[in-house]
Amino acid sequence: MSEDLKKIYAMVKRYNKHGVVVKDDTLQSIEFRIKAADIPEVRPMTGEEIKAVRQHWKLSQSVLARTTGMSVESVSKWERGESKPNKAVLRIINMISDNGPEIFMR
């Protein structure tokens, strides 16, 4: 979050605390938008990069397929460059790349 957003948010929280101007639902909406602004863009990945992430974390195609909710055939096609995962799946692979597969384990 930028310093300007932090200052605005702090001001809005103070106003809310004192019952001035800002309603609770408005504060929640602002909080959501601030948090959403911190979500990184989905990084595109080539098939080779997807395979490298999978191998780095010692995941089989089957485990990556299960984690992304896709089929083993889909994972294989991505890695061969025959198709590309959608942005939702790419976000999952980005998260695995950055944090490891443990983020999806309970």
* Residue the block writes with tokens 């702090």: 10
Q: How far from 44 is each of 6, 89, 105, CA to CA, in Å?
A: 30, 11, 24
Residue 1 confidence (pLDDT): 60
Shared domain check, 97 and 57: yes
Does 100 share its domain with 62? yes
Cβ proximity of 52 and 94 under 8 Å: no
Q: What is the pLDDT of residue 105?
A: 84
User: Do 71 and 91 share a domain, yes or no?
Assistant: yes
Tell whether 51 and 95 lie within a shared domain.
yes
Rounded Cα gap, residues 78 and 68, in angstroms? 12
* Structural domain contains residue 42: no
Q: Are residues 56 and 91 in the same domain?
A: yes
| pLDDT at residue 101, as a whole number | 95
Per the structure, the complete domain to which residue 21 belongs is given by 3-37
Low-confidence ranges of the chain (pLDDT < 70): 1, 21-23, 37
Length of the chain: 106
Question: pLDDT at position 22, please?
Answer: 63
> How many CB atoms are closer than 10 A to CB 70?
18
The number of distinct structural domains making up the chain is: 2
